[in-house]
Amino acid sequence: MKLNVKGLVFVGFAAAVFANAAAFAADPVTGDKIVTSKTYVDNKIAASVTDGDTTHAPSGDAVHNYVKNATLTIKQGDANSSTQLGTFTANQATDQIIYVPTPAAQVQSDWNQETTTAADYIKNKPTIPTVNDKTLTIQKNGTLVGTFTANSATDETINVTVPTKTSDINNDSGFITSADIPAQVQSDWSQTVTTSADYIKNKPELATVATSGSYNDLSNKPTINDATLTIQKNGTAVGTFTANSANAATINITVPTAPDIPTPDANTCTATAPCALVWAGGTAPTWEPIQQ
C-alpha cells in the first residue's frame, strides 16, 4: 500500500516516523511524495536475491516482522495550534490519499485594519504621532505682522517693532495732553450724586447742628440765663445790659477828674504877695492873690 499526501513536502520523515520500516519515493508522473512499506520492502528483497546477494538477504517474513506499525498523523498548523487532517499506519493493507488544503494567497497588510483577528491586521505596529499644521498668527495692536505654520520646513523670523523711548510714540485720536486734563473740582459736602466729580466718598455722618449751626439742633444744651445788669451813678440808674444779649452796648458814666493846674503868674504871685488856687465848680482853676 501507499500513502499519497497531496500538497505536502516532508523532510526526513521516514527516519523519524517509520524508524527504517518505510522509505520515500516520488511518483514519476505527479511528483507527489509516496510513502511505501511492505510491498516496497518485498520488491527490494527480491531484487537483492536476483542480484545474487543471498548471504545477507533476509527472508520476507523477517522483513515483514521488521516493518513497524507506527502511525503517521498529518496536521495543519504549528505545535501550539493545529488541525488534524488524517492518519496513516505504516503496515496497513490499503492505499490512502490525504488532501492538505491549499493555503490562501498572501493578503496585503492594511495599516488601517482595526480587527485584530483579520489576516491583514498588523500586530505591534508603532504609534506615529500626529503632525499638526496649525498656523501661528502674530499681531501688533490688532494688525497682522506675520504668520508661521507649525509644520513648516523653513525657518522664519518675524520682527515686531516696539517703542523703546517716549519719542517713538505718536499721539493718535483719543489721546490727550496735560493741557487737556480738566482742573480739579472742589468737593461738595452737599453733593448726593455718587457719580459726580465733586461727590465725597465715605464722608462721616454728622449731627444736624454741624451743618445747621442752630442752637436748637444741639442735644444736652446747657441752661443759659438772661439776668440784667443795672448800672447806676450815685444811686441813679445810668443803663442796663442783659447777660444773654445778642447786641453789644456801651454805658458811659461821667466821673470828675483832676483839673489841669495852670502855672502861677509870676507877676501876680510873688513871695511877698502869695496866691491861692481857686477852682469854682465847672470852671477852670485859677491862681488868685491871698487877701492879707
Higher pLDDT, 203 or 29: 203
pLDDT, residue 33, reads 45
pTM comes to 0.23
- Per residue in 89-120, pLDDT tens? 877 777 777 777 777 778 899 999 999 999 89
pLDDT-derived band at 38 (thresholds 50, 70, 90) equals: low
Question: Does 206 score more than 60 pLDDT?
Answer: yes
Beta strands in the chain (DSSP E): 2-6, 23-26, 33-36, 71-77, 82-89, 96-99, 135-140, 143-149, 228-233, 236-242, 275-278, 286-289
pLDDT > 90 in the chain, percent: 12
Q: In the predicted model, what is the mean pLDDT of residues 192-199?
A: 92
| Joined grid coordinates for residue 152 | 513648516
pLDDT, residue 292, reads 64
User: How, if at all, do strands 96-99 and 2-6 pair?
Assistant: parallel
DSSP code of residue 229: E
DSSP code of residue 178: G
Higher pLDDT, 248 or 14: 248
Question: Does 274 score more than 80 pLDDT?
Answer: yes
Burial class (CB in 10 A: 0-12, 13-18, 19+), 286: middle
User: How, if at all, do strands 275-278 and 236-242 pair?
Assistant: unpaired
